[in-house]
């Protein structure tokens, strides 16, 4: 089992562990690490994950002889709403959940974001842990304490930074993921290779056959290296005041494409096209050499992720969505670009003609 520590400088030092391994949640030892802070447990999960893993996690927690309840929310992005928050919070009140209880987010990004948000505001905050069950949640959303829900006006517009007590990444959950969900997570792993670690990028290139077959030891290495890159960044900039923005590589265009397709593209698919866009803008502005730009495009293709904008989307429409992204600062769209693989930087200074030209190239 691998262990990565996230240490945050707060008024007092706060840190938590990300434990990564095969079948860790189904091991007896797991329960001893989860025992702190709780006089009872409430698992928050969704209608897809509950039938697969709810019973097993509940049985393990039951070995503590403390009460364990399960609160299920409907699977899907539409559950990332204030209605779900109110509904779950009222169930917690009925269950007599107190500040000494522990919430357990068992699921993908939606469950993690909603459960984390509830934990941050219920009774002015109670502890929670993350058990992410998708690759995307394992390498991204479960680490770093971003929580939140959507508004009709946009995604993640209500939320908090609220760190979990621990993250338990059980790689055996990857076995039941659809190919699309698996690729969704791989897009974020490719992102870590591009922004954080040339060796990880080369590993993704050389081991792609085994990774695509979900080889357990390759997946353990990939998930561990990705979490370590994210943990290092979050340690330095928990509240996304500067450095953490490099995690948005590919997301400026990616978010616009998700919105423009009414979320017909998955997050990973949209970010993949966005990463190609960011690499091409980096090249057009002479920051990145052509061969490295091509390696980025080839790697994304190799993992069967899209590199072109779907037909039918207009450049002006995509530009409009980029301008309204919540991460636009003072109306200015910021891009994360790269000087080389492993060397990102954030800039607002991109001539709109370069962005438009790149979008048009990606439509071809
Ligand atoms: N997913 C980007 C971040 O956590 O900052």
Q: Which of 6, 110, 141, 255 to mutate to test the pocket of ligand 1 (most atoms within 8 A of CB)?
A: 141
Active site residue 255: yes
Residue 143 has pLDDT above 90, yes or no: yes
- Residue 297: burial class (beta carbons within 10 Å; 0-12, 13-18, 19+): middle
Query: What is the per-residue pLDDT for 26?
Result: 84
**188 among known catalytic residues:** yes
Task: Tell me the pLDDT tens digit for each residue of 331-340.
Answer: 678 899 999 9
Q: How far is the CA of 244 from the centre of ligand 1 (A)?
A: 7
| pLDDT greater at residue 139 or residue 348 | 139
Q: Nearest Cα to 279, choosing from 296, 298, 256, 258? A: 296
Within 8 A by CB and 6+ apart from 272, the residues are 187, 190, 250, 254, 300, 305, 306, 307
CA of 352 to the centre of ligand 1 (A): 25
Q: Could you give the CA distance from residue 66 to residue 323 in angstroms, rounded to a whole number?
A: 50
Query: pLDDT tens, 63-98?
Result: 888 999 999 999 999 999 999 999 999 999 999 999
- What is the fold, at CATH topology level, of the domain defined by 180-362? Dehydroquinate synthase-like, alpha domain (1.20.1090)
Residue to mutate, 155, 188, 230, 250, ligand 1, most ligand atoms under 8 Å from C-beta: 230
Decide if 341 contacts 282 (C-beta within 8 A): no
Largest Cα separation within the chain, whole Å, is 63
> Of 29-38, 244-253, 303-312, 346-355, which gets the smallest average pLDDT?
29-38
Q: What residues does each domain of the chain span?
A: 2-177, 180-362
CA of 346 from ligand 1 middle (Å) equals: 15
Give the residues surrounding ligand 1 with Cβ less than 6 Å away: 140, 144, 146, 240, 244, 247
Closest-CA residue to 141 (of 188, 194, 88, 104)? 188
Mean pLDDT for the chain? Answer: 94
Structure confidence by residue, pLDDT tens digits, 284-327: 999 999 999 999 999 999 999 999 999 999 999 999 998 877 66
Q: Among the options 240, 301, 327, 339, which is catalytic?
A: 240
Contact 259, 253 (CB under 8 A): no
Helix (H, G, I), strand (E, B) or coil at 337: strand
What is the CATH architecture of 2-177?
A: 3-Layer(aba) Sandwich (3.40)
């Amino acid at each position: 089992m691998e262990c990565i520590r996230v240490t945050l400088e707060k008024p007092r030092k706060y840190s938590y562990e990300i434990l990564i391994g095969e079948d860790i949640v189904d091991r007896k030892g797991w329960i001893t690490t989860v025992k702190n802070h709780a006089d009872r447990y409430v698992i928050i999960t969704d209608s897809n994950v509950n039938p697969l893993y709810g019973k097993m996690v509940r049985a393990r927690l039951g070995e503590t002889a403390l009460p364990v309840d399960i609160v299920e929310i409907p699977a899907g992005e539409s559950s990332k709403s204030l209605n779900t928050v109110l509904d779950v919070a009222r169930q917690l009140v009925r269950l007599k959940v107190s500040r000494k209880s522990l919430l357990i987010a068992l699921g993908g990004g939606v469950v993690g974001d909603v459960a984390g948000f509830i934990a941050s505001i219920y009774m002015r905050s109670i502890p929670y842990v993350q058990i992410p069950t998708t690759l995307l949640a394992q390498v991204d959303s479960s680490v770093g304490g971003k929580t939140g829900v959507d508004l009709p006006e946009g995604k993640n517009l209500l939320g908090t930074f609220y760190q979990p007590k621990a993250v338990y990444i059980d790689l055996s959950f990857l076995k039941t993921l659809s190919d699309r969900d698996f690729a969704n997570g791989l897009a974020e792993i490719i992102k870590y290779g591009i922004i954080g670690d040339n060796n990880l990028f080369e590993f993704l290139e050389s081991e792609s056959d085994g990774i695509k077959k979900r080889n357990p030891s390759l997946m353990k290495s990939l998930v561990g290296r990705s979490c370590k890159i994210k943990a290092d960044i979050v340690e330095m900039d928990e509240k996304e005041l500067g450095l953490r923005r490099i995690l948005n590589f590919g997301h400026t265009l990616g978010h616009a494409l998700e919105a423009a397709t009414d979320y017909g593209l998955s997050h990973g698919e949209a970010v993949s096209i966005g990463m190609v866009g960011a690499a091409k803008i980096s090249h057009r502005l002479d920051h990145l050499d052509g061969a490295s730009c091509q390696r980025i495009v080839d790697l994304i293709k190799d993992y069967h992720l899209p590199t072109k904008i779907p037909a039918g989307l207009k450049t002006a429409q995509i530009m409009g969505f980029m301008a309204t992204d919540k991460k636009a600062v003072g109306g200015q769209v910021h891009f994360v670009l790269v000087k080389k693989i492993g060397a990102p930087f954030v800039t607002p200074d991109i001539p709109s003609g370069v962005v438009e030209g790149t979008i048009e190239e990606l439509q071809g």
